[in-house]
Structure 1
Amino acid sequence: MKGRVAITPRSMSEAGHPALGLLSQSGYELVFPAPGRQPTEAELMASLPGCVGYLAGVEPVSRKVIEMSRDLRVISRNGVGIDNIDLDAARSRGIVVEKALGANTRGVAELAMALMMCGLRHVSWSDRVLGAGEWKRRKGREAFGRTLGIVGCGAIGRALAQMCLSIGMKVLGYDPVWKNDGSLGPYFRLVGLDELYAEAEIVSLHCPPGARPLVDAAAIDAMRPNVLLINTARAELIDGEALLAGLNSGKVAAFATDVYQTEPPMLNDLLRHENAIRTPHAGGLTEESVDRATRIAVENLLRVLEGHGSA
């Protein structure tokens, strides 16, 4: 046996995946710290020592965990987000951190679009009300001709832009790094964040978090009345108290989220709000996305462990 590899993403730790067979066939023993659920820090600390590889999900990977994992050579995420990993600790130990670039782009973009449609047409609210035996209706809004603001124009943001442009929407994008290359056509404009907030009727977040929430009271105040806010990126992007105040005042018409501070989340006043739309971090949970992410993550692990270096 060449060594042990820990597998923690729920999508593969519970039911397995054919791509994991590549690791076994290459001589690695697979370890599942918490099958079917997100492992705790204590479970990681109990399982990772002795592992040379770690196929990681969205669970926090702290300095404490990394420092105890003395044999660990590579952490391979089955997604693109690595802000859950203490990167300074990994670098100090010489541990390579890999991402499954592009694996869940389509799945997350399609979910963001689904959440947008759900918010515009009150699908979630209507389902709850009718399921409770009440016959009530809310007037919805059509997507055609409306302006979507995308904060973060990476692969997911651009995929969402293409889908929304194809149904006759106008799209504004904000990104401090990406430069508009014209590939999205004339109905897409790259603008400043202030202009995006002022003009967009729907705002969708597709960026990493910073030191403080991006959407705070000032940002919500700068947005248009009846704005629809969508977050399929990271929960830390939003000031929950400010958003709850925006929902209660009616400034924010609806809030749709696929991401949470902890999983499963505590159902606070924000998440219980009648105009909140919740999905259980399912953006990348499609058959296609899971297949791509698993395959890429396994390939990245083997590339490093077999001595072929980082991508």
Structure 2
Amino acid sequence: MTRILITPRSLTSDPPVELDRLAANGFEPIFSTPGEMPDEAELLRLVPGCVGWLAGVEPVSEAVIEAASELRVISRNGTGVDSLPLELLRRKGIALERAVGANATGVAELAVGLMLSCCRHLPEISKGVAAGGWPRRRGREIEGSTIGIVGMGAIGGKVASVVSALGARVLAMDPARPPLGLLGGAVRYAGLDEVVRNADFLTLHCPQPEDGRPIIHAETLERMKRGAIVINTARAALVDEEAMLEALDQGRISHYATDVFSVEPPKSLALAAHRNVIATSHIGGLTDGSVSRATDAAVENLLKHLVRDHAAA
């Protein structure tokens, strides 16, 4: 059988039925360590002989791609490609496919859930009640607030739809300015500086800039409203974690809620365990619906490239 490497943690820990199509088409799925992000050594061990790769967010070095002598296509079960050596893939003629929008609902719902959790201090209050206390902290409401959204793709658009229905004003920044459709009366496009300065909540749904610099850094945080809330369900590199920690300590930022860290799980808990941080373990797309849609799309993209070649072999 011809091998296909499977590395997303959501698929190796509990392989969904959508992967059965690979075996049905004559391919042998090869899994990395269940539930763990593979490192370079494991990828170097597994990738030789694989013609396809259903990849997650694990960093992929040029050495791994060089070792993948038979690789024809990498199919992401999401949209981000920041962890891949794109120029080398182009030079070697390895196709790259993405499951665009497949996990948008799961990620968008988590982002809104994190906003609400910050507003109502839910982790703190839940722990207090569980410990026998009766904590009562005054919260804040989304209605009447300004939500800044950076990135108005499938995820950002869903977040805008929900928060506008809750009565928030939405300022959005996206260089492509995709058509707003039914959201046209609820969302206004603006530059990043205007969004940052006016947002009561700032939520990130964009790729990493090409220069690799964070969007949210010390100067950005200085320009934000005192007491603003920042939500990051996109990429850890969008936020300067040290600058965010300082802003939280000084009370300039009320809360930071993040589903992503520069190292996962984080080795330092200075940020993750901060009293005003809600940290989740990269679960944005980890819902039944999102996993099913993303896996189905990723498998379809693999077969699109490989079935004809496999049949002819």
TM-score normalised according to structure 1 size = 0.95
Partner of 1:252: 253
Counterpart Cα distance in 1 of 2:275 and 2:19: 41
The residue identity in structure 1 corresponding to 2:170 is V
Partner of 1:16: 15
The residue identity in structure 2 corresponding to 1:286 is T
Kindly indicate whether residue 63 of structure 2 is the aligned counterpart of residue 59 of structure 1.
no
Kindly indicate whether residue 288 of structure 2 is the aligned counterpart of residue 265 of structure 1.
no
Partner of 2:33: 34
What is the Cα deviation at residue 15 of structure 1?
1.9
Counterpart Cα distance in 2 of 1:179 and 1:292: 23
What is the Cα deviation at residue 132 of structure 1?
4.0
Partner of 2:197: 198
Partner of 2:236: 235
TM-score normalised according to structure 2 size = 0.95
The residue identity in structure 1 corresponding to 2:100 is L
What is the Cα deviation at residue 270 of structure 1?
1.5
Whether contact under 8 Å (1:5, 1:31) holds in the other structure is yes
What is the Cα deviation at residue 177 of structure 1?
1.3
Post-superposition Cα deviations, 1:236-284, rounded to whole Å, max 9, x if no partner, equal 0111111111101111000000011122222431111100001110000
Whether contact under 8 Å (2:177, 2:189) holds in the other structure is no
Partner of 1:165: 164
Whether contact under 8 Å (1:209, 1:237) holds in the other structure is yes
SS at match of 2:278: strand
Partner of 1:280: 281
Counterpart Cα distance in 2 of 1:241 and 1:125: 23
Cα RMSD after superposing both structures: 1.3
The residue identity in structure 2 corresponding to 1:111 is L
Counterpart Cα distance in 2 of 1:188 and 1:115: 21
Partner of 2:3: 4
Whether contact under 8 Å (1:180, 1:190) holds in the other structure is no
What is the Cα deviation at residue 134 of structure 1?
4.1
Counterpart Cα distance in 2 of 1:129 and 1:247: 22
Alignment size in residue pairs: 307
Partner of 1:126: 125
The residue identity in structure 2 corresponding to 1:54 is W
Whether contact under 8 Å (2:79, 2:100) holds in the other structure is yes
Q: 1:218 to 1:60 in 2, by over 3 A?
A: same
Partner of 2:75: 76
What is the Cα deviation at residue 179 of structure 1?
4.0
Whether contact under 8 Å (2:153, 2:178) holds in the other structure is no
What is the Cα deviation at residue 300 of structure 1?
0.2
Provide structure 2 residue ranges, at least 5 long, that are not aligned to the other structure: none
Whether contact under 8 Å (2:21, 2:299) holds in the other structure is yes
SS at match of 2:129: helix
Whether contact under 8 Å (2:12, 2:31) holds in the other structure is yes
Post-superposition Cα deviations, 1:106-157, rounded to whole Å, max 9, x if no partner, equal 1100000000000111111222333444443321001111110001111100
SS at match of 1:128: helix
Counterpart Cα distance in 2 of 1:172 and 1:12: 36
Whether contact under 8 Å (2:146, 2:198) holds in the other structure is yes
- 1:92-107 aligned within 5 A: 92-107=91-106
What is the Cα deviation at residue 27 of structure 1?
0.7
Counterpart Cα distance in 1 of 2:125 and 2:182: 37
Partner of 1:110: 109
SS at match of 1:271: coil
Counterpart Cα distance in 1 of 2:243 and 2:137: 25
SS at match of 1:153: coil
Identity of aligned residues (%): 48
Whether contact under 8 Å (1:126, 1:137) holds in the other structure is yes
Kindly indicate whether residue 47 of structure 2 is the aligned counterpart of residue 48 of structure 1.
yes
Whether contact under 8 Å (1:154, 1:178) holds in the other structure is no
Whether contact under 8 Å (1:4, 1:52) holds in the other structure is yes
Post-superposition Cα deviations, 1:37-76, rounded to whole Å, max 9, x if no partner, equal 1111100100000000000111111111000000000000
Counterpart Cα distance in 1 of 2:134 and 2:150: 37
Whether contact under 8 Å (1:125, 1:275) holds in the other structure is no
What is the Cα deviation at residue 183 of structure 1?
2.9
Whether contact under 8 Å (1:284, 1:290) holds in the other structure is yes
Partner of 1:208: 207
Q: 1:169 to 1:63 in 2, by over 3 A?
A: same
What is the Cα deviation at residue 13 of structure 1?
1.4
Provide structure 1 residue ranges, at least 5 long, that are not aligned to the other structure: none
Partner of 1:184: 183
Counterpart Cα distance in 1 of 2:27 and 2:275: 49
Q: 1:180 to 1:221 in 2, by over 3 A?
A: farther
SS at match of 2:54: strand
The residue identity in structure 2 corresponding to 1:51 is C
